[in-house]
């Protein structure tokens, strides 16, 4: 029993160290993403192009993201800005949706990072052209 407990203790310590390293790397990545963000886009131009009021970093502007999915991204993915979403891998978005349950699984996040990048850079006309080709956040044919 003593060897087994020692091994378990050693493995727990190694796991804790790895989790700490992951946390440090996640913090560095978040800082890098924030530092590389473009300046706030012209929201007045965005409102003119989209035909509706646009709030900076409002994830619900993205086709396929409603208030519940935005809350999910904020709470579980720590994704609060268009730029952060632009830099989030689709596999991570799919995992967050899968973990949220059956009603969220109807969403396809494959275009969300692209949409978010266009919004973050203020490329309103490119964004509206992309959204025109999308249906519920999936790429149109």
Q: Where do the structural domains in the chain lie, given as residue ranges? A: 1-36, 41-139
Neighbouring C-beta atoms of residue 126, cutoff 10 Å: 16
Which regions of the chain are under pLDDT 70?
Answer: 1, 77, 102, 104-105, 135-141
The whole-model pTM stands at 0.77
H or E element at residue 130: helix 124-132
Q: What b/e readout covers 78-95, taking b as 16+ CB neighbours within 10 angstroms?
A: ebebbbbbbbbeeeebee
Q: pLDDT digits over 13-48, tens only? A: 898 889 888 778 777 877 777 788 899 999 999 999
């Amino acid at each position: 029993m003593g060897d087994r407990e020692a091994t378990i203790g050693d493995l727990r310590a190694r796991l804790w160290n790895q989790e700490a390293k992951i946390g440090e790397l996640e913090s560095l990545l978040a800082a890098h993403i924030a530092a590389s963000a473009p300046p706030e886009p012209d929201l007045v131009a965005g409102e003119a192009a989209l035909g509706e009021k646009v709030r900076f970093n409002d994830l619900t502007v993205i086709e396929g993201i409603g208030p519940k999915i935005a809350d999910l991204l904020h709470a579980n993915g720590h994704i609060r800005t268009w730029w952060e979403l632009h830099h989030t891998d689709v596999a991570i978005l799919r995992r967050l949706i899968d973990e949220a349950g059956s009603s969220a699984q109807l969403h396809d996040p494959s275009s969300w990072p692209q949409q978010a990048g266009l919004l973050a850079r203020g490329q309103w006309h490119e964004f509206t052209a992309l959204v025109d080709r999308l249906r519920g956040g999936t790429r149109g044919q």
